Amino acid sequence: MSALRIIPLGGLGEVGKNMTVYEHGEEIVVVDAGLAFPRDEHLGVDLVLPDIGYLRDRRVNAVVLTHGHEDHVGGLPYLLREVDCDQVIATRLTLGLVKAKLDEHGLAASTELREAETGKRIQVGSFALDFVRVAHSIPDCVAVVLETAAGRVVHTGDWKLDHTPVDGLKTDVGRLAELGNQGVDLMLGDSTNAERPGMTGSERLVGEAFRTLIPLRRGRILVVSFASNVHRMQQAIDVAVQVGRKVAIVGRSMRKNLNIGRSLGFLDIPEE
């Protein structure tokens, strides 16, 4: 029986450029393909990418993406330029964000995109892939369960235990417990800021702040957010509609992601 080799190419002991190689026999599944942003001392550097030298002479059977944040998908176009890859697997919103990115790089036509759904297994060679819903600051996130003859691995991606998520979709702890009862040989868990005391608050708290503060102001209000934070966009727009405010979306990435989220049903925005 072939052993399962796990080779992290980025994202361990650092924030950003998440990429992990799972190799079973001659088959390879890569989970996430992120980038990182340079630190202040990296003058003239725009992006920081994982070292993909290990993959250059190997065929990748699939790249599986846990969610649509740049530190998990931003390096995908650069990976696909350098490596022979059969397909990219991700949930619907993540695929929408990725397709737009691949269009910009001229790679969409040559890349097979495959939609992942929770509760539906995808077979990639000797890898059986299952997907578990997890809550995060962007919708449509999943943990990935990779099962081979060598054992079962749970790769959580980014997650939090948000009991009041904006879209009502909590981390599926029942399914995680079920997997635990069945037996998990290894879990690779996100641990960003785990060394800090306390907990991460619900995104819904931001909406409560919007509802409290926005009606108190008469002038222009600026809301700053990552372009991928669809839930924050939705909450800001909801309050603006309630108080009769007009909304102007500023920034190319913000406009692009808003249009993608709206077209896929993850954002509910009135026409006027």
pLDDT confidence band for 200 (50 / 70 / 90): confident
Residues 212, 33: Cα–Cα separation, whole Å:
39
Q: How far is CA 91 from CA 64, 82, 87, 138, in A?
A: 9, 24, 13, 12
205-256 per-position pLDDT tens digit: 999 999 999 999 889 999 999 888 899 999 999 999 999 999 999 999 999 9
Q: Pick the most confident of 1-5, 143-147, 157-161.
A: 143-147
The reported pLDDT for the residue numbered 64 is: 99
SS3 label, residue 216: helix
pLDDT over 70 at 272, yes or no: no
H helical segments located in 66-172: 70-73, 76-82, 92-104
pLDDT confidence of residue 33: 97
How far is the C-alpha of 24 from the C-alpha of 26, rounded, in Å?
Answer: 6
Average pLDDT over residues 62-86: 96
Residues of the chain above pLDDT 90, percent: 79
Q: What is the pLDDT of residues 122-143, one digit of tens each?
A: 999 999 999 999 999 899 999 9
For 139-154, letters b (16+ CB in 10 Å) and e give bbbbbbbbbbebebbb
Give the count of beta carbons closer than 10 Å to the beta carbon of residue 26: 11
Q: Which residue(s) pair with 48 in the sheet? A: 36
CA dihedral 94, 169, 11, 19 (to 10 degrees): -40
CA-to-CA separations, 264 to 93, 139, 167, 256, 261, in angstroms, rounded = 7, 11, 14, 12, 5
What residues does each domain of the chain span? Answer: 4-188, 204-263
pTM of this prediction exceeds 0.85: yes
Residue 132: closest CA among 95, 168, 91, 71? 91
Mean pLDDT of the chain: 93
**For the structural domain made of 4-188, what CATH number should be given?**
3.60.15.10
> CB neighbours of 208 closer than 8 A, spacing ≥ 6?
none
For the segment 31-36, the average pLDDT, to the nearest whole number, is 96
Q: What single-letter DSSP state applies at residue 135?
A: B
- Mean pLDDT for the stretch of residues 162-182: 94
Q: Do residues 187 and 225 lie in contact, with contact meaning Cβ atoms separated by under 8 Å? A: no
- What's the pLDDT at 234? 93
